[in-house]
Amino acid sequence: MNAMNSSVAHNISVVRPEYFFITGLTGIQYSRYYYIFLFCVYFIAVIGNSAVLLLIAAERSLHSPKYIAVFNLALADFGETNALIPNMMKTFLFDSQHISYNACLANMFFVFFFATMQCSTLVVLAYDRFIAICLPLRYHVFVTNTVMCLIFSTIWTFNAFIMALVVSLISRLSFCKSNVIQSFFCDHGPMYKMACNDNSMNSFLAKLNTSLYLIVPLILIVLSYICILFSLSKVTTWEGRLKALKTCITHLLLVASLFLPVTGIYIYTFINSPSANARVISTSLAYAVPPMLNPIIYVLNTAEIKILIKKVFKNKSGPM
């Protein structure tokens, strides 16, 4: 009975506001132009990733392990873009900065869920390049369509579980001090720090997620390329080395576009204390721009996709 009474008392003490107020870029002149820029980013990202998804789904020659990974990356980019930017447009461009409690938690889940999928997919693409260059004779054993489907099924399930845990622990917090989120969406860090009750588990999960989806992926990708460089050092001709390295350029550009901005923000925040507006601008760009760049990078650097796009346009212009 005592345990039940204490549990009831704990539940009663939890304060859940009816809505949250997202501050975003406050006190900055011409901030609307920044959100118009983000709308252009959104338009390009949606069109580009939709084209990649449709092209891979429709073209049988792209039904290979590598393009299963590319399909999942485009799907994650498409989901993250739609979870983030339309809400930002609604919130700031149209002066609707209030968001209901449940909608805020849903927004947090989907933004972080698709963002974690982006990081995880780049690790899988690094695995693909590692096997292709270091173990080429075993590539069709270790990297098959079945293996890729199993890997991504596991990753989607695991990431969904972790993000659901993050959101469920937020729902246990009591927001009796403030309901103002100093970010551009329902960001986990600013939210759990507003809590009146114990938020140690939320803080632990925030550090765990940083490790799982930023530090560990970077370490794995760097290790894979160290092995790749060591393997290429055994190739006798420079032509052979360059030919193998060219297959990694697209992946390296994707890694740079996603991880460099986020890592730079973390390092800068650790060294200095940026203003709230500077943090919002830099973080929003780090979230919004990579989904726009990824399909462009793939179209420009992947021969198979460029050939297919040329065929599509040629077929359309043929009857004319």
Asked whether 112 and 188 are in contact (CB, 8 A), the reply is yes
Residue 120 has pLDDT above 90, yes or no: yes
User: Rounded CA gap, 122 and 112, in Å?
Assistant: 16
In which band, very low, low, confident or very high, does the pLDDT at 15 lie, cut at 50, 70 and 90?
confident
For 39-43, what is the mean pLDDT? 91
Residue 274, φ and ψ in degrees, nearest 5: -70, 155
Identify the CA nearest to 105 among candidates 188, 12, 183. 188
- Reading phi first (left if > 0) and then psi (alpha if -120 to 50, else beta), residue 243 is in alpha
- Which pLDDT value is given to residue 182? 84
Residue 1 has pLDDT above 50, yes or no: no
Residue 156 has pLDDT above 90, yes or no: yes
> Where is average pLDDT lowest: 215-224, 226-235, 261-270?
261-270
Residue 258 has pLDDT above 80, yes or no: yes
User: Rounded CA gap, 105 and 113, in Å?
Assistant: 12
> Where is average pLDDT lowest: 22-31, 177-186, 288-297?
22-31
For 309-316, what is the mean pLDDT? 67
Residue 319 has pLDDT above 60, yes or no: no
For 35-50, what is the mean pLDDT? 90
More confident residue, 121 or 232: 121
Q: What is the pLDDT of residues 72-116, one digit of tens each?
A: 999 999 999 999 988 888 777 776 788 899 999 999 999 999 999
User: Rounded CA gap, 290 and 273, in Å?
Assistant: 25
3-class secondary structure, 21: strand
How many helices and strands in the chain, by DSSP H and E? 12, 3
Averaged confidence pLDDT in the chain: 85
- Which pLDDT value is given to residue 4? 35
Note the pTM of the prediction, 2 decimals: 0.88
- Which pLDDT value is given to residue 320? 47
In which band, very low, low, confident or very high, does the pLDDT at 312 lie, cut at 50, 70 and 90?
low
- Which pLDDT value is given to residue 279? 76
Fold of 18-317: Rhopdopsin 7-helix transmembrane proteins (1.20.1070)
For 118-127, what is the mean pLDDT? 95
For 62-66, what is the mean pLDDT? 88
Residue 14 has pLDDT above 80, yes or no: no
Residue 315 has pLDDT above 80, yes or no: no
Element (H, E) at 208: helix 200-210
Residue 260 has pLDDT above 90, yes or no: no
- Which pLDDT value is given to residue 238? 83
Q: Where are the domains of the chain?
A: 18-317
**Which contacts of 90-93 are long-range, i.e. CB under 8 A and separated by 24 or more positions?**
91/22, 91/24, 91/184, 91/185, 92/24, 92/25, 92/31, 92/32, 92/35, 92/184, 93/32, 93/35, 93/36, 93/39
- Which pLDDT value is given to residue 274? 67
